Amino acid sequence: RQPNTSVKLVPFPGEALLDIGKDRGRFYRYEGSLTTPPCTENVVWTVMAKVLPVHPQQVGMLMFVPNANIAITFLLHVTIFMSIINSTALI
C-alpha cells in the first residue's frame, strides 16, 4: 500500500476464508454498532454457534479485506465476528 496508488481486487465470498461446512447455518445475528469511532449503529453482527478453527494465516488475510467490518478478539482462542450477507439466523 503506497500513497496515490490503486490495486484491482477480485471479489470473493467471505465464507471462503472459513471452513464452515455442515455448521454453515448455525449462527446468531444482532444489530449493533461499529467498534471504532464514529460507532454508528448500522452493523449486523454474525456470531457462529460454535468456535471454528482458524489458521493464523486466515486471520492475516482478513486484515486486508477492503471495507470489511470485522472485529477480532484475541483471548484464549481467536473469535472472529463478520457480517455475512444473504444468510438466515437460527434462533
CA distances from 12 to 18, 51, 62, 66 (A): 12, 23, 12, 11
Distance CA 7, CA 85 (A): 24
Instruction: Give, for 72, the enclosing helix (H) or strand (E).
Output: strand 70-74
Separation of alpha carbons 43 and 53, rounded Å = 24
pLDDT (tens digit per residue) in 47-71: 777 776 767 777 677 667 666 655 5
The per-residue pLDDT of the chain, averaged, comes to 66
pLDDT tens-digit map of 16-50: 655 566 666 678 888 988 777 888 888 888 777 77
Cα separation of the two ends of the chain: 41
pTM: 0.41
